[in-house]
Amino acid sequence: MKKAVITCRAGMGTSTMLTVQVKNVAKKNNWELEVDHTSVDGIGSFKGDFIIALSDVADDVREKKKDIPVIGIKNMMDPNEIEEKLTPLMKE
């Protein structure tokens, strides 16, 4: 089972919507993926496999968590983009 956290600046609306999309993609692909969401400030204690953020936040997240892969999503409503970017990490 892989573990990911989805983050946005406030940890509320955007990360919640992206969490739903990621869960849908994971279910479609039969991926064992545990997903939670938080604000950028809340990622400090995250110890999972990777972090998912919208592209405009991804660079800030990479600066805070240099030891964990960060995926930047441009369009959170595009399941194809989410699947394309998650697939390599889910196959590791």
Number of domains within the chain: 1
Whole-angstrom distance, CA of residue 74 vs CA of residue 53: 9
pTM exceeds 0.95, yes or no:
no
pLDDT tens digits for range 29-43? 999 999 999 999 999
Q: What is the CATH number of the domain that holds 47?
A: 3.40.50.2300
The residue range of the domain holding 8 is 2-90
DSSP assignment string, 30-76: T--EEEEEEEGGGGGG--SSEEEEEHHHHHHHHHH-TTS-EEEES-T
* pLDDT number for residue 13: 86
Which pLDDT band, with edges at 50, 70 and 90, does 9 fall under? confident
Which pLDDT band, with edges at 50, 70 and 90, does 76 fall under? very high
| 62 and 40 Cβ atoms separated by less than 8 Å | no
Whole-angstrom distance, CA of residue 32 vs CA of residue 67: 22
